[in-house]
Amino acid sequence: MAGAPTDDGFPAERLFNQGYSYTYDDVIFLPHYIDFPTDAVQLSTKLTRNISLSIPCVASPMDTVTESSMAVSMAALGGIGIVHSNNSPSDQAAIIRSAKSHRIPFMSNLVFKSPSDSICSVEEFGSSPCILVTESGTGKSKLLGAVTKYDWEALDDKEAIVSGYMIKSPVSAPHDYDFEEVAAYLAAKNLDFVPLVREKDGEVVNVVTAADVERIQGFPKRGMPSIGPKGEFMVGAAIGTRESDKERLEHLVKAGVDVVVLDSSQGNSIYQIEMIKYVKRTYPELDLIGGNVVTMYQAQNLIQAGVDGLRVGMGSGSICTTQEVCAVGRGQATAVYKVSSIAKRNGVPVIADGGISNSGHIVKALVLGASTVMMGSFLAGSNEAPGAFEYQGGHRIKKYRGMGSLEAMMKGSDARYLGDTAKLKIAQGVVGAASDKGSVLKFLPYAMQAVKQGFQDLGVSSLQSAHDLLRSSVLRLEVRSGAAQVEGGVHGLVSYEKRPF
């Protein structure tokens, strides 16, 4: 199909060189020509120079977004989770090890007791169908038995020690079974649940119930998982740029981390450049993502220092106040386009970090040059996000906070803003709440299908095709007026229910 008429819309190069800082909502792509079905669209991409993903999705290194559960589910879907560093090095490394020990797409909340313990209340079971009995009463020792909620409720003496009535040596399965193998094992043995045990030390890694299997089988089909060279789920981790982060990095490397993100709100600093050189010198095989940056100048400095990927965004997140407080940053659409322009010349993939509220934003970020999108609020409030659900004004919510909020800074994230040595702490983020989104295993595949439909409307069947057609001026854009943005959403109704899938 011939290229679009040159007088209809604007090429990206012209649009983003007029001195305006555009957000995703400010711009709209003009549709192109369709000659393939939606299922022909391929979203496989590069996270870094050396790491490939099946879907262009990255969970942000925030302490209310990414820990073990999120990392496991993201890897199972074909993306990756970046574990936050608002904890001790040993705790962060333990999260990495936990996530990499799994082969199934979710983690259960395990409850442990020792043989001499008693169960005082049904609330001790939490959401687990059973309480596991180990030698020490922790997950770090051998499994001896299990107590089901049904068995405990049938007891006359609720204060009896668990060794007197537990199921001794319960049937278990190897921890490295994948989901299909676990499902088949449960069915073949006619079991309600099965602990997954690491054979070398007898530790319980997870518990899978028949209800879990039915729930997961009801979700959309998953693509190729993100598997590393050792056959484990790929997991990333964030570190800072201080001297103490070199010790943290050592812990992470020993834990098997696959990629490291240098976590800074303003990445173009002597501290980050020196850390990049240290990491590449000390661990030359480890892929390293630098950032955050929003300008070509910033990006060029980090590329020259040796990064394998760039994280783009400054002040565009829903809980970030950097642009308001510090008067620096850039509209995310402009930032992604500009940084991608120079990164592409050097073979460095770009992560669009922040400003993702819907699938349309993902389409825009990817077509403008990003290889992946990093999501915080998009994933916050999910089953896999850290924290407990609460009720607020009749809504089921989870806490979601910016790493620049004072609350997060009190736990150590102030180093991200180069404020760890300052006597006065200035917030660059807020504490909020995200509504219950359910499981990422359900809603993220639907979001990816919506992205595929967006790509089809643009006449692009892959990220590479999108980038090529944008740079060759075949794909055209326009700026939307405020009225056009209103018209482009739901409007003119007394009431409505918005269900994305």
Q: What are phi and psi of 361, to 5 degrees?
A: -65, -35
Contacts of 86 (CB under 8 A, 6+ apart): 63, 403, 408, 411, 412, 413
User: In the numeric block, which tokens belong to residue 200?
Assistant: 């070398």
Known catalytic residue at 57: no
- List the catalytic residue out of 103, 222, 248, 416: 416
User: In the numeric block, which tokens belong to residue 178?
Assistant: 């994948």
CA dihedral (379, 384, 386, 392) positive or negative: positive
- First-to-last alpha carbon distance for the chain, in angstroms, is 33
Contacts of 428 (CB under 8 A, 6+ apart): 265, 320, 321, 322, 325, 326, 402, 404, 417
Long-range Cβ pairs for the range 455-458 (8 Å, 24+): 455/41, 455/43, 455/363, 455/367, 456/34, 456/36, 456/37, 456/38, 456/41, 457/31, 457/32, 457/34, 458/29, 458/31, 458/32, 458/363, 458/367
The residue written with tokens 């050189």 in the block is: 277
Nearest to 268 by CA among 299, 237, 229: 299
- List the catalytic residue out of 320, 330, 401, 476: 320
Q: What is residue 409's three-state secondary structure?
A: helix
Distance between CA 464 and CA 467 in Å, rounded?
Answer: 5
Distance between CA 408 and CA 26 in Å, rounded?
Answer: 31
Asked if 78 and 224 count as a contact pair (C-beta separation under 8 A), the reply is yes
Known catalytic residue at 326: no
Asked if 443 and 330 count as a contact pair (C-beta separation under 8 A), the reply is no
Asked if 322 and 307 count as a contact pair (C-beta separation under 8 A), the reply is no
E runs forming strands in 198-344: 204-209, 236-239, 259-262, 287-293, 309-312
* Bond from prior residue into 292 cis (ω within 30 degrees of 0): yes
Distance between CA 45 and CA 53 in Å, rounded?
Answer: 5
Give the CA distances from residue 498 to residues 147, 210, 388, 437, 456, in Å, rounded to whole numbers and listed in that order: 43, 32, 26, 13, 23
Give the CA distances from residue 162 to residues 5, 145, 149, 170, 171, in Å, rounded to whole numbers and listed in that order: 76, 9, 12, 14, 18
| Rg of the chain in Å (alpha carbons) | 24
Give the CA distances from residue 242 to residues 124, 167, 212, 415, 429, in Å, rounded to whole numbers and listed in that order: 41, 50, 42, 8, 21
| Catalytic site positions | 320, 416
